[in-house]
Chain A
Amino acid sequence: MSGSSSKEAWSSRLGVILAVAGSAVGLGNFLRFPGLAAQYGSGAFMIAYFISLVVLGIPICWAEWTLGRYAGQKGFRSSPGIFYALIRHPLGKYVGVLGVFIPVVIYMYYVYIESWCVAYGWYFLTGKLNLGGNVSAYDNYWAHYVGATGDGTALLPGHQAAIVFLLIVFALNFFLIYRGLVQGIEFFCKYAMPALMVIALVILARVLTLGTPDAAKPDQNVLSGLGFMWNPGDWQTQLKNPQLWLAAAGQIFFSLSVGFGVIITYASYLSQKNDVVLSGLSASAANEFCEVALGGLITVPAAFMFLGAAGVIGQGTFGLGFKVLPLVLSHMPMPWLFGFLFFFLLFLAAITSSLSMLQPGIAFLEEGLGLNRKQSITLLGLLTAVGCTFVVYFSKDLKALDTMDFWVGTVFIFIMATIIIIYFGWGMGIERGFEEAHRGAEMKIPGVFKFIMKFVSPAYLLIIFALFVLFEVFGWNYHTGEFKPTGYVRDLIGPEPNVVARVTVLFLVITVIFFGLLTALAGKRWDKEKSPGAKPNNPSKS
């Protein structure tokens, strides 16, 4: 395929590793992982976590890197194009629609969350986020800021700040994407990722030297905070809990950005001489370092030191990040500095991820429709702006955001990752897959991974997906054996459906049909180019 995207290539190996690591390192590393580890008792959770990393995370990463580079050699840079090249069937390209649909939809709400990080960092710097010692004050502040109190409230007068920060972040993302793969994404990640790690280490040093922040509560100190995070519970009993395995596998899965359509797109810009084995492992290792070594030592121990166990238990990602931690940070010495640094850290983690969510869409529009950079940026900007406005408007209890995150950011990712690992092990064939992976490789994948990638990873993934459907869709109670459909299902079907959830799903259906139609158009274009005597299109001149 021709076009500007097909000419693009990473300028250095470190650049692509940092870009993929940047895509993987996100808010979940610093907010979701520590909460889950503490919730499930760290000992048992870490066993399940590392098993999932070895049999699920790293194998799927290698499969995505390999398949992406393989299709890239055939001239395809977008997920539908990549699957058009991989699955030689008229319907093959439609499998790849998920690889564009997933990141684009996730971007629609992720960029809103990203803007909260910028806003909170700015408010700390300017001293506006000192709301006292009660977490409910921070809860109310956050609910008011994001518009969780009612639909449309985020767009009302008095909420301009949230919209201004959103516009700034939205524009920054598209500015960097407009600069291209090397001058935009790679350039930014080369500075942002090291900066992120340095900031995290500074905050970690601060947390670990806090001692006993409140002399009146001597039991809330650094060691007890670390103990709350890392002390194992009854690990033998906990390991029998399927929800623990689901949580650990889910965390590995979403943290490494596998099944998003991002790695496969990024890898398509590599040449056959480029290593994918060491690069894939390095990007995964960078993500794990940020998650376990930095995230695992900062957020939950810090929150415990100031609020005790009661202040930490049951807090989700948003609760920990935008309610508990602002309170904790405002009580640290030099709150303006450490509050700003922490939310700037979250912002860097978020923007390196959101940039990666845009590239699959840009690559598809350029390659599939023959648009040039400006045209593709404009079209994708318009589409994501509509989706983002939808999320911001239907902000009551963050229903639209939550619904999108569940169906697209969870269910579809499982499906996409399953397709990738099954194709690698069975479609391409494990022997050929390994041969392809080892072209230009600077390290060998241990032979045992042939068995893991062919049998264990797909089986493990399907079991985890079945558990997910049982627990998160049908609401299976593991202890009583009863089924009660979860809110995500009851919002759509049942006696009391939620209108916003239904409209959100309708929006998602329309979006996926839209991408399906574009893929049909792209397929015609690719068929034409493949036909004998066809002149290659040059989208950059169209």
Chain B
Amino acid sequence: MTTAGWIIMLSSVGAVTLLFVWCLCRVLTHKPSSEKLHGIDDIPTEDVEKD
């Protein structure tokens, strides 16, 4: 493993990991204005159950 290899590996893996963690933190910490937007009651189980 050369120094250049270490740099490429750490920068590539680090970049995508940081981006993923940043996105995850923002998604989990920011409460959306309305979590259940159409409402859980609209889940289409009715036609399944009816049939």
Q: Which residues of A contact B (CB under 8 A)?
A: 4-5, 7-14, 17, 42-43, 46, 50, 178-183, 223-224, 226-227, 229-232, 270-271, 273-275, 278-279, 281-282, 285-286, 288-289, 291-293, 296-297, 372-374, 440, 442-443, 539-540
Contact = CB atoms under 8 A, between A and B. Distances in A.
Given A223-B1, A226-B5, A443 B20 contact: no
Given A232-B2, A232-B4, 9 more contacts: A5-B44, A14-B27, A230-B6, A274-B37, A278-B30, A285-B23, A293-B20, A373-B47, A373-B48
Interface of B: prevailing SS: helix
Nearest to B32: A13
> Considering the complex of A and B, which 5 residue pairs feature the smallest CB-CB distances, nearest first?
A9-B38, A231-B5, A227-B1, A271-B37, A540-B47
B33 A440 contact: yes
Contacts of B36: 9, 11-12
A253 B44 CA distance: 32
Interface in B1-51: 1-2, 4-6, 8-9, 12-13, 15-17, 19-20, 22-24, 26-28, 30, 32-40, 42-48, 50-51
B33 to A, nearest CB: 5
A183 B40 contact: no
B26 A278 contact: yes
Contacts, number: 147
Interface of A: prevailing SS: helix
Given A7-B42, A292-B12, A373-B47, A273 B37 contact: yes
Nearest to A44: B8
Given A289-B17, A440-B33, A282 B8 contact: no
Given A42-B8, A281-B23, A372-B51, A230 B45 contact: no
Given A285-B16, A374-B48, A278 B4 contact: no
A471 to B, nearest CB: 25
Contacts of A179: 48
Nearest to A42: B8
Nearest to A17: B27
B28 A14 contact: yes
